[in-house]
Amino acid sequence: GESVGLHLPTLSVQEGDNSIINCAYSNSASDYFIWYKQESGKGPQFIIDIRSNMDKRQGQRVTVLLNKTVKHLSLQIAATQPGDSAVYFCAENPGDKIIFGKGTRLHILP
């Protein structure tokens, strides 16, 4: 089906720790995946993407891991900061459109 879901709706992480946000996708035809960050009152902001011919991609303080065998995507944020507080969406591209997951809210504990 056309669903992209996240395992946890809310994730609380201590400031300075690493955050791991998980996502399950269901469409085997998807070969491109994206993570977006949405801060309160703003539109989604691109973080990082990965194509299906890769299993890992690194950006600045973020890493995306793709496991095609179990249709699982994760976003790792290193040394989580207060500014990382937001809702994170994974999205997949099975054709000519992007399908977004429901989102995970990342809450940073002081």
Partner 1 sequence: DSGVTQTPKHLITATGQRVTLRCSPRSGDLSVYWYQQSLDQGLQFLIQYYNGEERAKGNILERFSAQQFPDLHSELNLSSLELGDSALYFCASSVGWTVRETQYFGPGTRLLVL
Binding positions for partner 1, rule: CB under 8 A: 32, 41-46, 49, 51, 89, 93, 96-103
Residue 90 CB, shortest distance to partner 1, in Å, is: 11
* DSSP classification of residue 84: G
Residue 69 CB, shortest distance to partner 1, in Å, is: 22
Residue 16 CB, shortest distance to partner 1, in Å, is: 29
Contact 37, 105 (CB under 8 A): no
Residue 97 CB, shortest distance to partner 1, in Å, is: 5
If the CB atoms of residues 14 and 46 are measured against partner 1, the closer one turns out to be: 46
Q: Give the number of other CB atoms < 10 A from CB of residue 75.
A: 24
Residue 7, sorted as left (phi over 0), alpha (psi -120 to 50) or beta, turns out to be alpha
If the CB atoms of residues 83 and 110 are measured against partner 1, the closer one turns out to be: 83
Amino acid at 73: L
If the CB atoms of residues 76 and 94 are measured against partner 1, the closer one turns out to be: 94
If the CB atoms of residues 69 and 97 are measured against partner 1, the closer one turns out to be: 97
Question: How many alpha carbons fall within 13 Å on the CB side of residue 36?
Answer: 16
The CA distance from 32 to 4, in Å, is: 13
